[in-house]
């Protein structure tokens, strides 16, 4: 796993995306490496990291996923809303409520649907 991180600068975006997607299979032991990839310059890599963190469900990712709600890419923000919903942490209610006012209609819609899963209207 360390080699995957150390060789990042030599990898193409597709190779980094594949490597991050593979980290998901490692579960909780990959959380720190996935968090590092949240700050990649490629939006597909960031989305893969967000998706993996949500699927793993480790609460260590919470603060980082909230920060991703401000990402420049609407797809990353969309994935972040879903990931926060998967964590099921009620601390996400405020950030998800804020996401209901996102400039992108898809982000707003998924934020509203995610809040409904928390039984918040």
Residues 12-54 pLDDT 10s: 888 888 888 888 889 999 999 999 999 999 999 999 999 999 9
Q: Which domain holds residue 26?
A: 2-117
pLDDT tens digit sequence for 69-93: 999 999 999 999 999 999 999 999 9
* pTM for the model: 0.85
Q: What is the DSSP secondary-structure string of the chain? A: -HHHHHTGGGS-HHHHHHHHHHHGGGGGGGHHHHHHGGG-SSHHHHHHHHHHHHHHT-GGGHHHHHHGGG-SSHHHHHHHHHHHHHHT-GGGHHHHHHHTT-SSHHHHHHHHHHHHHTT--
Structural domains counted in the chain: 1
Given a cut of 50, whether residue 3 has pLDDT beyond it is no
The CATH number that applies at residue 15 is: 1.25.10.10
* Residue scoring higher pLDDT (68 or 3): 68
């Amino acid at each position: 796993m360390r080699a995957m991180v150390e060789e990042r600068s030599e990898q193409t975006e597709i190779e980094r995306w594949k490597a991050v997607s593979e980290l998901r299979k490692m579960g909780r032991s990959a959380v720190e490496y996935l968090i590092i990839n949240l700050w990649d310059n490629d939006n597909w890599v960031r989305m893969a990291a967000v998706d993996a963190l949500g699927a793993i469900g480790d609460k260590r990712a919470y603060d980082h996923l909230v920060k991703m709600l401000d990402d420049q890419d609407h797809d990353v923000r969309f994935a972040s809303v879903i990931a926060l919903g998967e964590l099921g942490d009620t601390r996400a209610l405020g950030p998800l409520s804020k996401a209901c006012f996102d400039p992108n209609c898809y982000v707003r819609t998924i934020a509203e649907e995610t809040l409904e899963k928390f039984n918040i209207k």
